[in-house]
């Protein structure tokens, strides 16, 4: 077993890798994404964390791809045609699809003609009910493919099945609200194992307030700013994706940990950012429950969902009308894959560890076996 992550910026990054023979933690100087991935993969077949002998020992590589549109709905082996479709959707997920194509190209450069598999965040939501998926604009929008696609589907689907396992329940009998709260945030209503509503839409910008993304705003704000000449289309895109959310309101950071620390230091803008975040989260959870006519269990997952007990407590505080009641002690100290609801709660509340990598590996294995 080997796992590694690298976070990098203009001045370098931090590498964390772990293999059967030990761990590597180091600061690295990297020029670009390709150099960062190359350094990270180098730990797989060299040094203290050596796991395989060489790149030639790798049989298949899986990639999380955010937007598959209506053409790419299930895990698929990467071909030039598949890459072309992913590229055509870049405008729909500007922070993601281009980077994911680069990842595929980097692997081909470093590893060679290995089988690569794309697994799509939109796939789990591909059969959303039309009432949830279609925007109430001109019908021609739908004919042009302008509809809700939904995202974070890999993790939402994994969490639903993992929770059914933990509850010893058949997933077909469960109504779940999955809260994927990281730098990007989305909710999904999962009934009978299927996505029936979700907060992200045509792009990953819609829905909840996020780290640096606004989530839903009145569209007239955007047309107003364009008419006033305040922002160009690219300026609007940057403002909504990179300068909004927790960062835009707090002025501190897009990282919830930094926002919570600023609140402790008395920063009122940080407090406002958290209040908006929680207000929209509570409203979204209630809306997801309404889409199913009730809820049996509530899931918190991803970075904020798993680690920010303050956010979980605040989110559940006004959900008593749904039957949600937290155990404060459990919420404060529980690890992942643990129930944190009170014994008399009508709705179970769980922390589920996000394991998109495992879900992608499972999809790769299935395709490799077929091949």
In order along the chain (371 residues), what is the average pLDDT of each group of 10 residues?
72 72 72 77 70 79 90 91 90 79 89 91 96 97 94 97 98 98 97 98 95 97 89 90 97 97 98 98 98 98 97 98 97 94 98 95 88 68
Task: Render 2-14 in DSSP notation, one character per residue.
Answer: -EEEEEEETTEEE
The three-state secondary structure class of 199 is coil
All domains in the chain, ordered by first residue: 1-53 (no CATH), 169-356 (3.30.420.40)
**The pLDDT of residue 76:** 93
Q: Specify whether the CB–CB gap between 207 and 168 falls below 8 A.
A: no
* CA 221 to chain CA centroid, nearest Å: 26
End-to-end CA gap in the chain: 24
3-state DSSP call for residue 318? Answer: coil
Identify the burial level of 216 via C-beta atoms within 10 angstroms of its C-beta, where 0-12 means exposed, 13-18 middle and 19 or more buried.
middle
Output the pLDDT for position 26.
73
Question: What was the pLDDT predicted at 220?
Answer: 96
3-state secondary structure of 65: strand
Q: Is residue 121 annotated as a catalytic residue, yes or no?
A: yes
Q: What is the pLDDT of residue 73?
A: 87
| The pLDDT value given to residue 361 | 93
Written as one string, the DSSP assignment of 108-177 is HHHH-S-EEEEEETTGGGTT--HHHHS-SS-HHHHHTT-S-----HHHHHHHHHHHHHHHT--GGG-EEE
Would you give the DSSP letter of residue 347? Answer: B
Annotated catalytic residue within 10, 59, 121, 255: 121
């Amino acid at each position: 077993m080997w796992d590694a992550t690298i976070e990098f910026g203009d001045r370098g990054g931090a590498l964390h890798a772990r293999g059967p023979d030990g761990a590597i933690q180091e600061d690295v100087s990297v020029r670009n994404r390709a150099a960062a991935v190359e350094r990270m993969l180098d730990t797989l077949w060299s040094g203290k964390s050596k796991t395989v002998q060489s790149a030639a020992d790798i049989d298949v590589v899986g990639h999380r791809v955010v937007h598959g549109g209506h053409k790419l709905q299930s895990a698929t082996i990467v071909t030039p045609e598949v890459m072309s479709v992913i590229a055509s959707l870049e405008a729909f997920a500007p922070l993601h699809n281009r980077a994911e194509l680069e990842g595929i190209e980097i692997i081909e450069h470093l590893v060679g003609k290995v089988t690569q598999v794309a697994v799509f965040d939109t796939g789990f939501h591909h059969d959303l009910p039309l009432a949830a998926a279609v925007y109430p604009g001109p019908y021609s929008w739908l004919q042009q493919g302008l509809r809700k696609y939904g995202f974070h589907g890999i993790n939402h689907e994994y969490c639903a099945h993992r929770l059914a396992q933990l509850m010893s329940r058949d997933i077909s009998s469960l109504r779940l609200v999955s809260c994927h709260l990281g730098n990007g945030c989305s909710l999904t209503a999962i009934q009978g194992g299927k996505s029936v509503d979700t907060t992200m839409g045509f792009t990953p910008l819609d829905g909840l307030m996020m780290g640096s993304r606004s989530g839903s705003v009145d569209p007239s704000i955007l047309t107003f700013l364009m008419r006033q000449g305040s922002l160009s289309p690219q300026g609007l895109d940057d403002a909504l994706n990179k300068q909004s959310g927790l960062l835009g309101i707090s002025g501190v950071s897009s990282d919830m940990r930094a926002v919570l620390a600023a609140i402790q230091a008395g920063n009122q803008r940080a407090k406002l950012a958290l209040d908006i975040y929680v207000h929209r989260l509570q409203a979204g959870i209630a809306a997801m429950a309404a889409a199913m006519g009730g809820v049996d269990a509530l899931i918190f997952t991803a970075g904020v969902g798993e680690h920010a007990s303050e956010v979980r407590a605040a989110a559940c505080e006004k959900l008593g009308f749904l039957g949600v009641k937290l155990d404060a002690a459990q919420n404060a100290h529980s690890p992942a894959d643990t129930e944190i609801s009170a014994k008399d709660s009508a709705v179970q509340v769980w922390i589920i560890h996000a394991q998109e990598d495992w879900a992608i590996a499972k999809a790769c294995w299935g395709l490799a076996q077929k091949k």
